[in-house]
Chain A
Amino acid sequence: MENLNTTELFAAKSIINLGLSKAAESLSFFMKEQIRFNELSFSINKINQQVDFTSKSGNNIHLLITSIVGELKGVCCLIFTEEEADKLRQAALPKEIIDDPALMAEMSDAILLEVDNIISASVITQFSNILKHNIHGGVPELKKLSVEQINQYAASNFLQEMYIINFKTQFESAQLNFNPEFIWLFDNTFLESVKSFALDNSNITRLEINSTV
């Protein structure tokens, strides 16, 4: 892949996979069943405006956006269809809230924001611990938009930034047909950090051991 040699690419993918595994664990906690993530799509180039940002369809897509604050600059997006958001609410909220329409109305967005906060932090924690950077997630934001509006939003907001790394996965649940998308965008600082990390052979050995466990 352009800009990364084989060792650096292995390091980047391994670090991202470790982060996403933690995110899947955190999401499993809320869904009360095992959630996995599908194969990672990873690329180095600016977002292509011709390619749709999300593969979801529908008019009420829930887009949760968290900025990465600190020594690495980026943003992550967790994307649910309306049905997936409902499944998450039903699984994660206690029965007394689900059964009380007023409380449910109050909590229905709050639970999505908190899940986003926690699963994005699971990834950020891994990146920070492994790459030794001081980073954290900002306060998450929720937008409910049509697919067309999301693609427009991504084009007008993310294309202006120097985001050149993007990786994307879809969570997967065996029973619930629950497949939220998880998209991360970083600027060149992430690439530089991975390159510098990969210079130390002991770092690569640790990743090799982790990826075989």
Chain B
Amino acid sequence: MKKVLIVDDSLFMRQSIKSTLVNSGRYLVVGEAATGDQGIELSLDLQPDIITMDNILPDMLGIDIIKELRKEDVLAKIIMVSAVGQESIIQECRNSGADDYLVKPFSNESLIERIDKLAMGLH
């Protein structure tokens, strides 16, 4: 099973993503982070295969976390899961190392479809 880390300050969103992934039977949620600092720490400690990343966290922006993780050579696939839907920001996230970007609100089916696609790209 692929290991997933969820980084989102919303308790509801962490619970919702976790339950969708666990119910699929294909993913193990190894950690949850509510802040950027926690997200970076858990990404380095737990070495997840996939990270779901909110873009607006209380202490930092998701895009800055991605830059930090890529600088640390974290190779996990990263999908931004955010209510921020501006074209310019989506492009900037992709340029900074995000592998995909899903705009909230989304259905459970579209989340799983996007995560499955990322998982297919893992070795």
* Interface core residue of A97, A107, A114 (most chain B CB under 10 Å): A114
A137 on the interface (CB 8 Å rule)? yes
18 chain-A/chain-B pairs, Cβ below 8 angstroms: A29-B105, A30-B105, A106-B11, A110-B10, A110-B11, A110-B12, A117-B104, A118-B83, A121-B82, A121-B84, A125-B86, A128-B86, A134-B86, A134-B89, A136-B86, A137-B56, A137-B83, A139-B58
Q: Which 7 A-B pairs have the closest CB atoms?
A: A121-B83, A110-B12, A125-B85, A110-B11, A29-B105, A114-B12, A128-B86
Among A26, A29, A111, A121, the residue within 8 A (CB) of B12 is A111
Residues of B within 8 A of A (CB): 9-13, 15-16, 19, 55-58, 82-89, 104-105
Q: Is the CB of A117 within 8 A of B10?
A: yes
B56 engages A139 (CB within 8 Å)? yes
* A contact residues around B84 at 8 Å (CB): 121, 124-125, 136-137
Is A81 close to B, CB under 8 A? no
Q: How far is the CA of A116 from the CA of B19 in the complex (A)?
A: 22
**CB < 8 Å: which of A30, A114, A124, A137 contacts B10?**
A114
Q: Are A117 and B105 in contact (CB under 8 A)?
A: no
**Please, which residues of chain A bring their CB within 8 A of the CB of B56?**
117, 136-139
A170 CB–B CB distance under 8 Å? no
> A136-B56, A136-B89 in contact; A107/B83 too (CB < 8 A)?
no
Q: Does A55 contact B (CB under 8 A)?
A: no
| Chain A residue nearest in CB terms to B107 | A29
Name 10 extra pairs, CB < 8 A, besides A122-B83, A125-B84, A128-B86.
A94-B19, A106-B11, A107-B12, A113-B10, A124-B86, A129-B86, A134-B88, A136-B84, A137-B56, A139-B9
